[in-house]
Structure 1
Amino acid sequence: MRRVLITAGANGIGLVMAQAFAAAGDRVWVTDVDAAAVAAVPAPIRASVCDAANEGQMATLFKEISAEWGGLDVLCSNAGIKGPTAPIEDMPLDGWHQCLAVNLDGAMLAAKHAAPLMKARGAGVMIFTSSTSGLYGTPFRAPYVAAKWAVIGLMKTVAMELGPFGIRANAICPGSVNGPRIDRVIEAEAEAKGMTPEAVRQGYAAGTALKRLSDPEDVADMALFLASDAARMISGQALAVDGMTYNVDP
């Protein structure tokens, strides 16, 4: 039975990941900044309030995990926010800093505190949630793109550092995933571009080879695969789950 931690796991993609690991028989612990969402997480998933970008809170979380579980087998560093949507000349610096703090600092802190637990047992899997924006870029989303691009670099470095200890690291790069979060992204982009939300949504789908958006379950399936022994020789990779995006500017 694997011990799995998922940051930002009380809703959206993170919760679907948590439910998939739990259904596979794993012990799952999720964190989130949304206390109401944490309270609603179904058993047997363990849930606690924690800000992924706050090192004090993250250090306390990992102490609790060590005390209760005695170690950690799988880390899904999933915490992220969309950040501001604006032309670069109008980009607010505070919004830039907040987006990088949650998306990038949160990933670094998760890896920093998970590494000693995994090193101690000589094995482990780290899965970082990046984005196709971290592979291609996206207009009007500079902070998010910069953070998600950096997450891939962080992941590759972690894979190199920790590989000798039997620890693998990879990044999942979802495209547009159905759910409330992409609805908010689409609404913000539609406003920035002077388009209707439906036109932006159709553009997202049309820009993929499969002509549709992904579902959270598609991302969860990739996480389960990367955490499995079937992926034992896969490390340092950024893997898109996006139906093959080839036009990122709808």
Structure 2
Amino acid sequence: MNKTVVVTGAGSGIGRTIAQVLAQRGWLVVVSDINLAAAAETVATLSDEHNRPHESAELDVTDPVAAAKVADGVADRLGLSAWVSNAGISFMQKFLEIPLDQYEKTLAINLKGVFVCGQAAARAMARTGIAGSIVNTASMAGKQGKVPFLADYVASKFGVVGLTQAMAFELAEHGIRVNSVCPGYVATPMQARELAWEAELRGTTPGDVRQMWVEDTPLARLEEPEDVARVVAFLLSEDASFMTGEALAINGGAYMD
């Protein structure tokens, strides 16, 4: 079975860990990021146990021409069997204070990027006759609006969950499965920024906010990127071959649906 996957936003954080876990499990990983140097740094961390020639690629996920170039290039050279749309941003501010340009930027990367890349990947898979799998990174904030200071992010991630279902429905005829993952409080550089932002907005300390997040999680710890990456690996595996259109919660019980 062909095992080549493109992971977007994989220059750091969850994306880097997804790339690492997939490489450990025998995937040839094409690490993409808007920052090519960061993507190359991730490639340098990937396992070579399976002798797979991992690659890096520069990709602005909002650019359909760039996305098609990556997807078609990988499909024609290596065979594209999976795509993980993980690239995303966050920004914290009270709803009444969110500037429109920030809202538009969040939706462009978090939602338009998933649409653009999903379309490029699915077209490449359908053209080459590969019944592949696509995984989109949504969020716990894509299932509930009770998330402070992240209205633009919530809107984008609700959109990802809905788009995942629409993609799954239409792409089933090509044998392409589409699912999403919904992480909770993941310990990443992005989370460190959010801790500082939320502490300032609440008039408290990052340590207090962190403790509040832990107390909000029944499993009583912050999530690690590996917790997300292992579920992504499952969704790309044969074990999930009859799953499509799902939004899997990976949040330690912080939100249950």
TM-score, with structure 2 as normaliser: 0.91
CA distance in 2, matches of 1:121, 1:215: 36
Q: Is the 8 A contact 2:71 2:80 kept in 1?
A: no
1:25-49 deviation line (CA, Å, top 9, x unaligned): 1111011112331232216421111
CA RMSD in angstroms, aligned pairs only? 1.4
Aligned to 1:25, the other structure's residue is in SS state: coil
- The reply on whether 1:219 has 2:220 as its aligned counterpart is no
Identity of aligned residues (%): 38
Aligned match for 1:230, one of 231, 236, 239? 239
Aligned to 1:6: 7
Q: Is the 8 A contact 1:118 1:124 kept in 2?
A: yes
- The reply on whether 1:124 has 2:132 as its aligned counterpart is yes
Aligned to 1:77: 85
Structure 1 pair 187–164 and aligned structure 2 pair: CA distance change class (3 A)? same
Q: Is the 8 A contact 1:209 1:246 kept in 2?
A: no
Aligned to 2:248, the other structure's residue is in SS state: strand
1:199-250 deviation line (CA, Å, top 9, x unaligned): 1111111111111111111111001111111111111111011101149xxx
CA distance in 2, matches of 1:66, 1:226: 20
Q: Is the 8 A contact 2:182 2:250 kept in 1?
A: yes
CA distance in 1, matches of 2:182, 2:38: 24
Runs of at least 5 residues in structure 1 that lack an aligned partner in the other structure: none
Aligned to 1:53, the other structure's residue is in SS state: coil
Runs of at least 5 residues in structure 2 that lack an aligned partner in the other structure: 47-52
Aligned to 1:22: 23
Structure 1 pair 116–221 and aligned structure 2 pair: CA distance change class (3 A)? same
- The reply on whether 1:149 has 2:158 as its aligned counterpart is yes
CA distance in 2, matches of 1:152, 1:179: 22
1:95-140 deviation line (CA, Å, top 9, x unaligned): 1110100000110011110112222324111100000011112121
Aligned to 1:8, the other structure's residue is in SS state: coil
CA distance in 1, matches of 2:255, 2:247: 16
> What is the deviation of 1:157?
0.3
Q: Is the 8 A contact 1:18 1:45 kept in 2?
A: no
Q: Is the 8 A contact 2:181 2:248 kept in 1?
A: yes
- The reply on whether 1:101 has 2:108 as its aligned counterpart is yes
CA distance in 2, matches of 1:98, 1:246: 26
Aligned to 1:40, the other structure's residue is in SS state: helix
Aligned to 2:94: 87
Aligned to 1:20, the other structure's residue is in SS state: helix
TM-score, with structure 1 as normaliser: 0.94
CA distance in 2, matches of 1:11, 1:221: 16
Q: Is the 8 A contact 2:180 2:246 kept in 1?
A: yes
